[in-house]
A and B are shown apart, each in its own frame.
Chain A
Amino acid sequence: MALLDYRNDMQRCSRCSLCKWPPLAQIKSWRFSNVCPSMVWGNFHAYSAGGKLIAALSLLDGRIDYSDKFLEIVYQCQMGGACDVSCKVTRDLEPLEVMLELRAKCVEDGQLLPAHMVMIESLRNDDNPMGKLKAERGKWAEGLDVKDITREKADVLYFAGCRYSFDQDLWGIARGAVTLLKKAGVDVGISGKEEACCGGRAYEMGYRGELTKYAEHNIETWNTAGVRTVVTSCSDCYGTFKYHYPKVGKTMNFEVLHITEYLDRLIKEGKLKPTRKVPLQVTYHDPCHLGRLSEAYIPWEGVERKVLGQIVIQDPPKEFRRGTNGIYEPPRDVLKSIPGLELVEMERIKEYAWCCGAGGGVKEAYPDFALWTAKERIEEAEATGAEALVTACPWCERNFRDALEQDGEKMKLYNIVELLLEAL
């Protein structure tokens, strides 16, 4: 699909602003009743999803041209899709798809952000968007007793992803994940320095070609390696594998699991037994790509038709991506399995969770906006009275860490893996 294919969606936006709020039935207080970081940061309607639809229509119709402000509106957005969920409570529209297409068009037309160009340059040279050398990719696992699937066979591939591979502060979590899998007797391997980016971040920034390239490469590599399961601790990678990889049309001979799904399964099968008390009250942050954006891709090819006069239908009927079937319970179930640990919920959770702020190329291009978004979430976590904020994604974790450090906040921050390790 191209931007033009969504022209009707743009015209059918009613400017109702529902994409600025959580689904209305889920609003629990005045304080935490926004759902779109871009809108709260930018304040003009243009920053909302509905606003971006109008901006896209205006561009297509030649009413406006590219400008710095236009690009700021397009890119000052984490592409976390809370807007999409809220819109789809009552509509069959695709605001997030339009926003993705709009970015792709910007890139096609050479309307690029310097910060994103640096990331893409790094991706093209070193297979990661973080400005690191490819040769250093496997370092996180040094000294870890784990198979290298480029040399030997393993049932399960642990995919670290770029953030865990290169963010030394977070290496412990990736190592912990492998340790847990091994403790449960899983035959697990990694790709070390041969691992390449998933391509998802580039896709969300508008660089379509990179996704296709990495999807083809990774699917082929894993099919050839004969792995049964690909497991990752990175929510972004997970969402990319589940939703974007199937689009390239290559058969995937493996199952994709997020580490929290796998751990939940291992606990329920009795292969991991959390017995040590971890006396802590925690609250859990749903990463966008593990929650509402993790639903498996459901291919749809069809046409739009009118029936009963003017009812617009998709023929054959299309299963809209509404965030209904995201991975919401497995991470919670892992936490609940830990003795002594108490989980309290924030107000904006699951499909209408507030984003951590790091996604969509925002952390790199608009670091202040990214940190502000994280701080808003930290305040919400603090309002629950919990001592710790727990997440299941390295991007969220990096951004929360930076925000906590900047403000000298006391709230503790954990990954689910760390807590489970403590409980064993």
Chain B
Amino acid sequence: MALTGNVYQVLEDIVGSENISDEPVILDTYAFQYLAETETGTKFCARPGAVVLPGSTEEVQAIVKTCNRYGVKYKALSTGWGVWNAVSGAGTIQLDLRRMNRILDIDEKNMYAVVEPYVIGAQLQVEAMKRGLNCHIVGAGANFSPLASCTSLCGHGLSGIFMGYSARNPLAVEWVLPTGDILRLGSLGSGAGWFCGDGPGLSLRGVMRGFLGAMGAMGVFTKCAVKLYPWHGPPVLPMQGVTPEYRTSVPDNFRFCAIAFPNWDSFADATYKICEAEIGYVMGRQLPPGLVPLLLARSSAEYAQIRQSGMADEIMQEFKHAFLLVLAGGSLREIEYQEKALREILAETGGWIPSLTQDPEVQKLGFSFMLKADRQALIFKLACTFHTSFGAPTAWDAAVAGAKMGEKIKKKYIEKGVVVDDLADNAWGGPYEQGRFGHLEELFMYDPSDPESAKGAVEYIAEADEAVLKGSLGQPIGALPKQAVNVYGPACFNYQDWMRKLKRAFDPNIASDPISYIE
């Protein structure tokens, strides 16, 4: 047993023997992670000392206090997808929060839901839609945890144009601090319910997550009220088709299309105009040109055939400066107005709607995957993994500048054959909060089971990061704070000093494993 003394026994007394394990086979399934190869050179990170499955806030609190008492670290995860869930070693207990999986309330009038960590976006969305509401879904896809996104990591997704960034979406939060004390943020702190994140009661959103999130290094978030937004579609969106081609009809008061432009400048101008007109519901660069053939292929071999035959060249060319857009009207008159506004913007910027997305079947497909974010993981199909570069949250013009730079650097690695030839252009992202800011991250695909490819990925990131620094393009979205603060901190008023001070003030024993964050 990796844990010393009777810690295991104490934890077992808290959660019951069926909810704790230090069996190597169990531990390894938490050590294995997406992107582990970029950190450790293998698919495995360090094994935790044990995995614990708490079922309530009280149990979480008791575990955290035990860890503080015995000098053991802990790290929580909600769905546990990505290397930022990894622990620093056998001295850390992994808290898998999957037993805390309830939607505790959906308050229709005040437009929020109270969720536990293991509620996923797809669940919350269907329950919200039944009540005329919708939730923001991040780019990872609808299998993400809205609580984790609101409290602990990032928050950008293509519904962000209308539904904001996840840092903006948490209302009241229940937080088991790194020491084990419970803090209730916002209105919950003064017993006034969940409706507000900023009071009456403490408003500590900045401390709780900053811009990116503390990635499990600031205690455990056990409940969160998440903002919901209007949904003007039917309570249930009936899906047609059989796997893997699910689709849904576009309701009369919605529109789906791609919008293409002759160059990056007009692409950027149109984005600003759409945001100013406040007409977008879901919008972004979901299908960069190299990924468009995925719409037509079921397997990677079919994709390759399409690419190599040249039959999609024209379509890919058309998608070079394009994004996908869903418009939602509260009424038929409103959707007509939005359509008219869009047409005017296209006329002003020289944009057009590619014929591919005028096809009714493609519309059904595109509408369903933009709205439900159910097939984001398609990007894994080609080489089985991908990673990201650039993508700082910034002004849209700067995001576009990052995309251009990414393309230039990636070309070299495509030539070396270590990453997928995606035409060097896989900039994914969109404008958020009606264009207040946005991001475009340069994704690249590689094969994690191929050491040369994995090594190439690491080299590409290093070069991209250097370019970011030189070009003052902002901290890359995929950089783990642990390393990033040392690189970008000095260029940004040494913000890491504040992070460190906060971490130490809230976590004097450094019990909440800082491996992905800051110590």
A residues neighboring B (CB under 8 Å) = 7-8, 11-18, 21, 23-30, 33, 43-46, 50-51, 54-55, 57-58, 63-65, 67, 69-70, 73, 85, 88-93, 306-318, 320, 322-325, 328, 350-352
Answer whether residue B377 sits at the interface, using C-beta atoms and an 8 A cutoff: yes
A352 to B241, CA, bound (A): 13
Measured between beta carbons, the chain B residues less than 8 angstroms from A351 are 242-243
Closest to B83 in A: A15
Contact A25 B368 (CB under 8 A): yes
Provide the main secondary structure of the chain A interface.
loop
Q: A54-B32, A90-B377 are in contact. Are A307 and B308 (CB under 8 A)?
A: yes
Checking A26, A45, A315 against B30 with a beta-carbon cut-off of 8 angstroms, the contacting residue is: A45
Task: Report if B380 contacts A (CB, 8 A).
Answer: yes
Contact B446 A23 (CB under 8 A): no
Contact between B21 and A16, CB atoms less than 8 A apart? no
Could you show 9 A-B contacts with beta carbons less than 8 Å apart?
A7-B449, A15-B33, A24-B375, A30-B119, A30-B124, A50-B29, A308-B307, A308-B420, A318-B299
A17 in contact with B79 (CB, 8 Å): yes
Question: Is B472 an interface residue, CB under 8 A from the partner?
Answer: no
Chain A residues closer than 8 Å to B43, beta-carbon distance: 11, 57
Q: Is B239 an interface residue (CB 8 A)?
A: yes
CA distance A373 to B377 in the complex (A): 28
B51–A44 contact, CB under 8 A?
yes
Interface: B143 (CB within 8 A): yes
Give the shortest distance, in Å, between A80 (CB) and chain B (any CB): 15
Cβ distance A64 to chain B, nearest Cβ, rounded Å: 4
Q: Which residues of B contact A14 (CB under 8 A)?
A: 34, 81, 377, 380, 384-385
Cβ contact of A69, chosen from B26, B30, B51, B80, cutoff 8 A: B26
Which residues of chain A are near B446, meaning CB under 8 Å?
310
CA distance A322 to B80 in the complex (A): 26
With A25-B374, A310-B447, A350-B242 as known contacts, state yes or no: A90 contacts B380, CB within 8 Å: yes
Are A29 and B127 closer than 8 Å at their CB atoms? yes
Closest 7 pairs (CB-CB, A-B): A12-B384, A24-B374, A317-B301, A11-B449, A90-B377, A313-B301, A25-B374
Cβ of A309 and Cβ of B420 under 8 Å apart?
Answer: yes
Asked if B305 is an interface residue, CB under 8 A from chain A, the answer is yes
Q: A21-B120, A43-B19 are in contact. Are A306 and B28 (CB under 8 A)?
A: no
B29 near A44 with CB under 8 A, answer yes
Q: How far is the CA of A209 from the CA of B501 in the complex (A)?
A: 64
Indicate whether B5 reaches chain A with its CB closer than 8 angstroms.
Answer: no
A326: nearest residue on chain B (CB-CB)?
Answer: B242
Select A21's contact among B26, B143, B246, beta carbons within 8 Å: B143
Are A30 and B23 closer than 8 Å at their CB atoms?
A: no
State A93–B383 Cα separation when bound (angstroms): 11
Provided the pairs A15-B80, A24-B143, A30-B123 are in contact, do residues A310 and B383 lie with their beta carbons within 8 angstroms?
yes
- Nearest residue, chain B, Cβ from A352: B243
Q: Is the CB of B28 within 8 A of A58?
A: yes
Judge whether B480 is part of the interface by a CB distance below 8 angstroms.
Answer: no
B304 touches A45 (CB 8 A): no
A69 in contact with B300 given A26-B246, A55-B29, A310-B446 (CB within 8 Å):
no
Contacts A12-B449, A33-B123, A44-B21 known; list 20 others, CB within 8 Å. Answer: A12-B380, A13-B32, A14-B34, A14-B81, A14-B377, A15-B32, A25-B248, A29-B123, A30-B127, A44-B53, A58-B28, A63-B24, A90-B377, A308-B421, A309-B420, A311-B383, A312-B384, A313-B304, A314-B300, A350-B242
Are B448 and A46 within 8 A (Cβ)?
no
The answer to whether B44 and A63 touch across the interface, beta carbons within 8 angstroms, is yes
Q: A91: which of B19, B127, B377 is its contact (CB, 8 Å)?
A: B377
